[in-house]
Structure 1
Amino acid sequence: MLPAAGDAAASSVGFCSCFSVENGGSYDDYIDGSGNRGCMHCKRSDPSSSSSCYSCSSLWLDLAPFKDSEKLRRVITASAKGFSIGAGLKGGLALFSILTRLRRRQSSASSRKIEDFSNKEAITMAIKETIRYGLFLGTFAGTFVSVDEIIGALGGHRRTARWRALLAGLIAGPSMLLTGPNTQHTSLAIYILMRAAVLASRCGINSKRFGRICKPLTWKHGDLFLMCLSSSQILSAYILKQESLPPSYKSFLNKHGGKDAVILQGVKEIASCLPFSNLEAIEKFYKTMGVDIKLDPEMRVPCSIVHGNQGCLTHVVSFFIQAYKRALPVYLPVYLIPALIVHRKGLLERPYTILGKGLLGTTRSSLFLSVYCSSAWMWTCFLFRIFEKCNIPMVAMGTFPTGLSLAIEKKSRRMEISLYCLARAIESFCTCLADIGYLPQSKNLKRADVVIFSLSTAIIMHCYAQEREVFRSKYLNVLDWVFGVPPPPCETPRCKSS
């Protein structure tokens, strides 16, 4: 509250004494006997008059055209920035994918025609996906800011501060449907849920009431453990049950796993104790690569299937070199696009510093991915050779320590990557359970991904508005850039000056 002198000054111009910070500076409708609208607290009408209470005068000013134009500008700006981020990220990744595809050369003319047709389809699909993701994030940002402003204007920013962002984030969540009404985004929804869980756990750690319960979540190397756990499920599914993985992620693993489908089928059959059905196909595959081998149908370990006549160590080294070449085009846009969008001003002032960090990050992340893929084959071969057998538990054990390669990444990115992989591991694990009948699928809830995403964004946006300290500074800066700095807890001039 203001000092006594300030209160006297307020009274001298006719502001009613009922105004206080506690009422939130909000305007509550009151209809008197003559049908006039007035203040719920002092029962006075005509909020623009000098005899009305200060909170009513404040709302009258908030509804002025200048204030409305500011709020409208915030909505339009947030929508435009959200669209630019969605289209920029999706379009950038699609652009590098298309450029890589266009570099491919086919030997025959018929193959080139098929490739040209496929490239046209890929370009059309990339444009559609870019627009869809731009509309998705643009609509999400615009809806959140609109709901935030409407609730704040009707109920007062201070009075609704505890739940306004929560509701706005929940209402903005269904904007995910703009990516395609029939397109499931279970992995994305689970990933956002993991991000919301991390923020909620940080709030619990900082809480006096829940601090002791959430203390185990402060484990220093928890990100590495989550990555190992995720790798065990993801890489086992890559070998044994690829249909449990999202199509885009399955394509990513098939590319960076570096093994043909016939090789994976052979490993799957020996691990599942099934009779071989494609040994001749594997031998033909190696023959096209200039390697002449004869596979034993009675083999106990699949090393000869995985790397032919190479030794295990020689295979790991050669595979690592090839994996690093495949990883570089993946991480180049990951570091280049943020440098162009987020650090666009600094790029003009200190280009060598920013580009140098981007190059270092690309090199480091490419090293992580190549070590991750090569170590998966290294650990499995190592266990197969030690125990002289191959089964499903052995595959899961061999792929578990692969997650330790995440230590190559800098600390600030480890949790991000581990949560990304954990989301896909959970989806794959649930799909496997559903296929064997342990997890019945719900027929009534067809878009569970939208529900999960909406609940998650509600938590995230609530933390953004009320628990800002749980965010890392770079994420907080991006959110502030898109949504605008959250409104102050009290919107009246008298409250601000106090």
Structure 2
Amino acid sequence: MAPTSPEELKCAANGGCAAASPGGTPRAGYYLPAVPAAVEGELRWLRRCVEAAAKGFAIGAGLKGGLALFSVLVRLRSRRRSPRSRKVGAMTNEEAVVLALKETVRYGLFLGTFAGSYVSVDECIAGIWGRKRTARWRSLLAGLIAGPSMLLTGPGTQHTSLAIYILMRAAVLASRCGIKSKRFGNICKPLTWSHGDIFLMCLSSAQILSAYILSQESLPSTYKAFLNKHGGKDLTILQGVKEVVNHTAFSNLAGIEKYYKSVGVDLKLDPNMKVPCSIVHGNQSCAGHFITFLFQAYGRAVPVYVPVYLVPALVVHRQDLLKRPYPIIGKSLLGTARSSLFLSVYCASAWAWTCLLFRIFQSCNTPLVVLATFPTGLALLIEKKSRRIEIALYCFARAIESFFTCMTDAGLCPPILQIKRADVVVFSMATSIIMHCYAQEREVFRSKYLNVLDWVFGVPPPSDEESNKDFPSDDGTKKIC
């Protein structure tokens, strides 16, 4: 009797082997031992959860860390230029660095926890009730449960603008789903208007720019600083315009004259003026002020968009940059010039439209300010089509926040809307819709967003029906057919 070969001993230890065909492959009808499905499922669930949390943390920390690093570098540079410019009680450089590190970790934890929570809830529900049975609502619930992870950015930190912006993104996705739906297609047909982004920008401009002139306290501090810089007007000028609009007595007319004198303009203002053009642009004509302001605004806008275009070129296209640098750099410079022109025209036209309507009606009031700032949004036509909706949604989120702040200050906001952490509620609702669309209506996403979501969360696993194509047998082995 021939001795037993090592292969036969191994087969006996494993519980048997499939008979081999002449080509060395198992013949049909035989069974191969497989890893238990429960163990394989648990490992896949755990791996997906850990990877999603790690990638979410990397994105959150990377984005916030990059912004924080840029802010710290600008701060250090400004301090070197004017070392005595530090105000009493202001934050030191060391404190700024520590705060930047804390913010970086917080935002990393926020997105990491969101991604990990979503995947965990999604896998738990699928494991208990099945993927196919829960496909319609599983991602909706998982996104809703993961939303409160925003609290990790700080218990006292409000993110109303971010929450509203995410809600606007969710509304866009929902509208795309409605457009392709047979039931809601006719209702959502007006949303297919090709210039809807321009109209949305005009609506946003009416609220934002009116608040910039009349109620700056309704705007977030960072956005208010941005508008004050690119609006190009001293606060005393804005206060004077506000007093003319509200028909109140001037509180600092001498301060406005003093400001103009500091820039070389000798101006004497009429305390009984009805149209504030002389306050806005001194001795210049309205048309002359528009041209002068446009060039000045362009100079202020270029530094804003240089990092917006050049940093992605260096990071995303770093390999192609070595092979074909001129097309990539040229495209980035062209985008910078175009976006800078948009912002400068936007700011210059805001004052131009305001002056025009004030002179036409020889009056100045709040409705005229709102009406004059509405067509300012037409400047968005300068931007390329793919960027218009992004800018319009961002501004619309700011406008909604400002609008409800004004309503609350006036006592017109219903108590139900005055929730302490309404931003978390809105964010959770928005992420619920977005994650549902991601799992069930993937075609409504643009490819670049879909690729990022797939990288973080992993491509949604197949349903039960699709995963049973291997025809498992009753004893936990797979039959090769």
TM (norm. structure 2) is: 0.85
Structure 1 residues 455-493: Cα deviation after superposition (integer angstroms, max 9, x where no partner): 110000000110011111111111112211111123765
Tell me if 1:449 matches 2:457. no
Tell me if 1:311 matches 2:262. no
Which stretch of the first structure deviates more once superposed, 345-354 or 309-318?
Answer: 345-354
Is the 8 Å Cα contact of residues 106 and 112 (structure 1) preserved in structure 2? no
2:442 aligned residue: 468
Residue among 144, 147, 152 paired with 1:173: 147
2:10 aligned residue: none
Residue among 226, 233, 249 paired with 1:259: 233
2:193 aligned residue: 219
Tell me if 1:394 matches 2:371. no
State how far apart, in whole Å, the 1-side matches of 2:288 and 2:379 are.
Answer: 19
1:17-32 equivalences in 2 (<5 Å): none
Is the 8 Å Cα contact of residues 210 and 369 (structure 2) preserved in structure 1? yes
1:77-92 equivalences in 2 (<5 Å): 77-92=51-66
1:108 CA displacement: 7.1
SS of structure 1 residue aligned to 2:260: helix
Q: For residue 36 of structure 2, what is the amino acid of its counterpart?
A: L
Residues 313 and 412 of structure 1: CA distance in aligned 2, closer, same or farther (over 3 Å): same
Which stretch of the first structure deviates more once superposed, 332-341 or 275-284?
Answer: 332-341
2:249 aligned residue: 275
Residues 119 and 268 of structure 1: CA distance in aligned 2, closer, same or farther (over 3 Å): farther
State how far apart, in whole Å, the 2-side matches of 1:67 and 1:351 are.
Answer: 46
Tell me if 1:63 matches 2:43. no
State how far apart, in whole Å, the 2-side matches of 1:123 and 1:95 are.
Answer: 8
1:237 aligned residue: 211
SS of structure 1 residue aligned to 2:78: coil
Structure showing greater relative contact order (alpha-carbon pairs closer than 8 Å, 6 or more residues apart)? 2
State how far apart, in whole Å, the 1-side matches of 2:372 and 2:148 are.
Answer: 40
Residues 108 and 371 of structure 1: CA distance in aligned 2, closer, same or farther (over 3 Å): closer
SS of structure 1 residue aligned to 2:381: helix
Structure 1 residues 123-150: Cα deviation after superposition (integer angstroms, max 9, x where no partner): 4433332222222112111211222222
Q: For residue 321 of structure 1, what is the amino acid of its counterpart?
A: F
SS of structure 2 residue aligned to 1:400: helix
Q: For residue 162 of structure 2, what is the amino acid of its counterpart?
A: L
1:61 CA displacement: 3.3
Q: For residue 487 of structure 1, what is the amino acid of its counterpart?
A: P
Tell me if 1:406 matches 2:344. no
1:353 CA displacement: 4.0
1:183-198 equivalences in 2 (<5 Å): 183-198=157-172
2:224 aligned residue: 250
1:400 CA displacement: 0.5
SS of structure 2 residue aligned to 1:294: coil
1:344 CA displacement: 5.3
Which stretch of the first structure deviates more once superposed, 292-301 or 227-236?
Answer: 292-301
SS of structure 2 residue aligned to 1:277: coil
State how far apart, in whole Å, the 2-side matches of 1:87 and 1:341 are.
Answer: 16
Residue among 373, 383, 386 paired with 2:347: 373
State how far apart, in whole Å, the 2-side matches of 1:114 and 1:355 are.
Answer: 43
Tell me if 1:160 matches 2:165. no
Is the 8 Å Cα contact of residues 79 and 85 (structure 2) preserved in structure 1? no
1:33 aligned residue: none
Is the 8 Å Cα contact of residues 353 and 376 (structure 2) preserved in structure 1? yes
Residues 176 and 346 of structure 1: CA distance in aligned 2, closer, same or farther (over 3 Å): farther
Residues 86 and 108 of structure 1: CA distance in aligned 2, closer, same or farther (over 3 Å): closer
State how far apart, in whole Å, the 1-side matches of 2:122 and 2:296 are.
Answer: 50
Structure 1 residues 385-435: Cα deviation after superposition (integer angstroms, max 9, x where no partner): 222221111111111111001111111111111111111111111121222
1:332 CA displacement: 2.9
Stretches of structure 1 lacking an aligned partner (at least 5 in a row): 1-10, 15-48, 51-56
State how far apart, in whole Å, the 1-side matches of 2:361 and 2:165 are.
Answer: 36
Residues 490 and 328 of structure 1: CA distance in aligned 2, closer, same or farther (over 3 Å): farther
Residues 355 and 170 of structure 1: CA distance in aligned 2, closer, same or farther (over 3 Å): farther
State how far apart, in whole Å, the 1-side matches of 2:56 and 2:169 are.
Answer: 19
Residues 304 and 102 of structure 1: CA distance in aligned 2, closer, same or farther (over 3 Å): farther
Is the 8 Å Cα contact of residues 260 and 266 (structure 2) preserved in structure 1? yes
State how far apart, in whole Å, the 1-side matches of 2:213 and 2:416 are.
Answer: 28
Q: For residue 405 of structure 1, what is the amino acid of its counterpart?
A: A
State how far apart, in whole Å, the 2-side matches of 1:103 and 1:430 are.
Answer: 38
Is the 8 Å Cα contact of residues 173 and 453 (structure 1) preserved in structure 2? yes
Q: For residue 179 of structure 2, what is the amino acid of its counterpart?
A: I
SS of structure 2 residue aligned to 1:104: helix
Is the 8 Å Cα contact of residues 96 and 329 (structure 1) preserved in structure 2? no
Residues 105 and 280 of structure 1: CA distance in aligned 2, closer, same or farther (over 3 Å): farther
Stretches of structure 2 lacking an aligned partner (at least 5 in a row): 1-27, 472-480
1:174 CA displacement: 0.5
Residues 96 and 453 of structure 1: CA distance in aligned 2, closer, same or farther (over 3 Å): same
State how far apart, in whole Å, the 2-side matches of 1:352 and 1:107 are.
Answer: 34
SS of structure 2 residue aligned to 1:464: helix
Is the 8 Å Cα contact of residues 86 and 130 (structure 1) preserved in structure 2? yes
State how far apart, in whole Å, the 1-side matches of 2:216 and 2:87 are.
Answer: 30
Residue among 436, 461, 485 paired with 2:459: 485
Which stretch of the first structure deviates more once superposed, 183-192 or 482-491?
Answer: 482-491
Residues 447 and 243 of structure 1: CA distance in aligned 2, closer, same or farther (over 3 Å): same
Q: For residue 368 of structure 1, what is the amino acid of its counterpart?
A: F
Residues 124 and 297 of structure 1: CA distance in aligned 2, closer, same or farther (over 3 Å): farther
TM (norm. structure 1) is: 0.82
Is the 8 Å Cα contact of residues 269 and 279 (structure 2) preserved in structure 1? yes
Which stretch of the first structure deviates more once superposed, 455-464 or 190-199?
Answer: 190-199
SS of structure 2 residue aligned to 1:111: coil
Q: For residue 63 of structure 1, what is the amino acid of its counterpart?
A: A
1:345 CA displacement: 5.5
1:327 aligned residue: 301
RMSD across aligned C-alpha pairs, in angstroms?
A: 2.9
State how far apart, in whole Å, the 2-side matches of 1:76 and 1:352 are.
Answer: 41
SS of structure 1 residue aligned to 2:227: helix
